[in-house]
Chains A and B, each alone.
Chain A
Amino acid sequence: MRYPHPNTAGSKLAYESRYDNFIGGEFVKPVKGQYFANISPVTGQPFTEVARSTAEDVERALDAAHSAKTAWGATPPAVRAQMLNKIADIMEANLELLALSESWDNGKPIRETLAADLPLAIDHFRYFAGCLRAEEGGMAELDANTVAYHIKEPLGVVAQIIPWNFPLPMAAWKLAPALAAGNCVVLKPAEQTPVSILLLAKLIGNVLPPGVLNVVNGFGIEAGKPLAQSPRVAKVAFTGETTTGRLIMQYASENLIPVTLELGGKSPNVFFADVLDHDDDFRQKALEGFAMFMLNQGEVCTCPSRALIDKRIYGAFLELAIARTRQVMPGDPFDTDTKLGAQASNDQLEKILSYFDIGKKEGAKVRTGGERVKLGGALAGGYYVAPTIFEGHNKMRVFQEEIFGLVVSVTSFDGFDDGMAIANDSLYGLGAGVWTRQMHTAYRAGRAIQAGRVWTNCYHLYPAHAAFGGYKQSGIGRENHKMMLAHYQQTKNLLVSYDPKPMGFF
């Protein structure tokens, strides 16, 4: 079926003409009164405008967060967990509406927002509600009269800067643990995708006490920077590009506060020869694993953008993989049969096209794709690209740099050690894939690859309760798991003597 585009007849979703910031439990106009046009990559046309905030708005949001933090931090875990569950319930009740918005703002297929993005975001709130209920501090008996208590306390007010590739799931990944741990949040969405989170804020506005969640929109330089630089935040969580991650760490060093960063990737997807041993389901699964570079139009930090194929099966596997890739082409993201949507922005499209050029000039061979796709009608101005397979070697720039698009670069390896050496010859270490029927090979490869997440005989699954984060230049911290709670907490140690006698020092 095909959903009508938002703001057209028959759509469930009609945007307002303008969106303000969400501060202190209400929608507030930006202090300077400026707005920016928000463009849908589906059509390339603007569809609403959004607050273009500045340092003054950030301060206002921080004021609201600071006035809420004491009461929120002291709210019993059972009550905080109940609120997170309520947020999840409201999202579930409005799943279709939020999915429509996510697809319109980002360009991704409605098939995925309905089946994956929203259900995962919803589950994330429930997961952290559960973690919070189950969490407890520690107690150690140091000797008969001395006890060390370890009590978890919230950090206070935290800053979160989230990316445009999965606007609502990324907001959930950051908000759920931060709120669960008892923090107040000032969140800045990406300027490419500012709207879905505002629809969510409107829906859940009265669940959380005013000031616990604040959303300030705007450009990185104008709104993100004063937020990341503020001495009034106790931590900055950022997902995005690596240079910006470095800048955020520099700001944090000025204030001596912690950061968690989820940055770039160039994830290897390693196919051992035995995947072709039988013409069975597993062979199909491995080929599907190759095709996973297309998920979310390749705009995933863990995109398996380097496929490393055992040279004993290289030609045969690649032919099958090319045939499989050619079955998929971009279409209207609002058709539930569409598997590929639009790239999220014009500059992202331009970046991908520039890498087509770089790859060709470097001598990489285009096996399929390598060009922009022009769709008709309302989609004529949208940002569509053909899935692209480059063949080359791992020193090429298309193997080393994060393109963040529908591009996979393929090469062969000769034996286990060579495969691992190529897999690890990268600045990044976020994700990886390993495909084999041999459990010994699978385990050895998974341990040898320097990446935070090694999908083994699967790829692109993001369930809550599986830690996610980077090695090397891919970041710091582990999201998607209860261990993220600790990144939003202080540990208070009470060292208590139950001995009435003097200590005997002086």
Chain B
Amino acid sequence: MCFQHGEFKLGARDVLVGTVGASPFYMGADQHARWQHTDLVLDVVPGRGAGFSIEAPEGVRFLIRSDLCALPD
């Protein structure tokens, strides 16, 4: 989901994974615990996203692809 800055209230447990352009990219703590061993690729596909994500009216949807990566020692 991609929201306007400030739209989504972050919680203390949300994890900042990185930034895309000038936008921070967060993940819920529980999900991060399960995804932390993956490299994430933020892709865009044609479609009609659900939810309140801002890209839906453009006829596209963000999609995360991922590869396994080695866990840091």
Contact flag A220-B51 (CB < 8 Å), given A347-B63, A354-B63, A354-B65: yes
Pair B53/A220 contact, Cβ less than 8 Å:
yes
Among A113-121, A166-174, A237-245, A433-441, the stretch in contact with B: A237-245
Instruction: Pick the most buried of A190, A243, A361, A401: most chain B CB atoms within 10 A of its CB.
Output: A243
Among A88-96, A125-133, A221-229, A310-318, the stretch in contact with B: A221-229
**CB nearest to A220 among chain B residues:** B52
Contact flag A358-B34 (CB < 8 Å), given A221-B56, A243-B1: no
The answer for the CA separation of A345 and B52 in the assembled complex, in Å, is 17
**Chain A residues, Cβ within 8 Å of B66:** 358, 361, 397
Contact flag A191-B48 (CB < 8 Å), given A347-B61, A351-B63, A400-B34: yes
The answer for the CA separation of A350 and B47 in the assembled complex, in Å, is 9
The answer for the CA separation of A346 and B56 in the assembled complex, in Å, is 12
Pair B47/A191 contact, Cβ less than 8 Å:
no
Pair A357/B65 contact, Cβ less than 8 Å:
yes
Residue B3 interfacial (CB < 8 Å): yes
Pair B53/A347 contact, Cβ less than 8 Å:
no
Residue A78 interfacial (CB < 8 Å): no
User: Per DSSP, are chain A's interface residues mostly helix, strand or loop, or mixed?
Assistant: helix
Pair B51/A243 contact, Cβ less than 8 Å:
yes
Residue A164 interfacial (CB < 8 Å): yes
Contact flag A362-B46 (CB < 8 Å), given A247-B8, A347-B63, A397-B35: no
Contact flag A221-B54 (CB < 8 Å), given A243-B1, A346-B46, A427-B30: yes
Residue A219 interfacial (CB < 8 Å): yes
Report the number of A-B residue pairs with Cβ-Cβ less than 8 Å. Answer: 88
Residue B70 interfacial (CB < 8 Å): no
Pair B50/A191 contact, Cβ less than 8 Å:
yes
Pair A347/B46 contact, Cβ less than 8 Å:
yes
Q: How far is the CB of A240 from chain B (nearest CB, A)?
A: 6
Residue A497 interfacial (CB < 8 Å): no
**CB nearest to B49 among chain A residues:** A347
Q: How far is the CB of B71 from chain A (nearest CB, A)?
A: 13
Instruction: Pick the most buried of A39, A52, A221, A358: most chain B CB atoms within 10 A of its CB.
Output: A221
Which residues of chain A from 377 to 408 have a CB within 8 Å of any chain B CB? Answer: 395, 397, 400-401
Residue A192 interfacial (CB < 8 Å): yes
Residue B73 interfacial (CB < 8 Å): no
Which residues of chain B from 13 to 56 have a CB within 8 Å of any chain A CB? Answer: 28, 30-31, 34-35, 38, 45-54, 56
The answer for the CA separation of A354 and B38 in the assembled complex, in Å, is 14
**Chain A residues, Cβ within 8 Å of B45:** 346-347, 350
27 A/B residue pairs, CB under 8 Å, sorted by A: A36-B57, A163-B50, A191-B50, A219-B57, A220-B49, A220-B50, A221-B53, A222-B57, A225-B52, A243-B1, A244-B1, A244-B51, A244-B52, A247-B3, A346-B47, A347-B45, A347-B46, A347-B48, A347-B63, A350-B63, A354-B65, A358-B66, A361-B66, A395-B34, A401-B34, A427-B30, A473-B30
Chain A interface residues toward B at CB < 8 A: 36, 39, 52, 163-164, 190-192, 219-222, 224-225, 228, 240-241, 243-244, 246-247, 250, 345-348, 350-351, 354, 357-358, 361-362, 395, 397, 400-401, 427, 473
Chain B interface residues toward A at CB < 8 A: 1, 3, 7-9, 28, 30-31, 34-35, 38, 45-54, 56-57, 61, 63-68
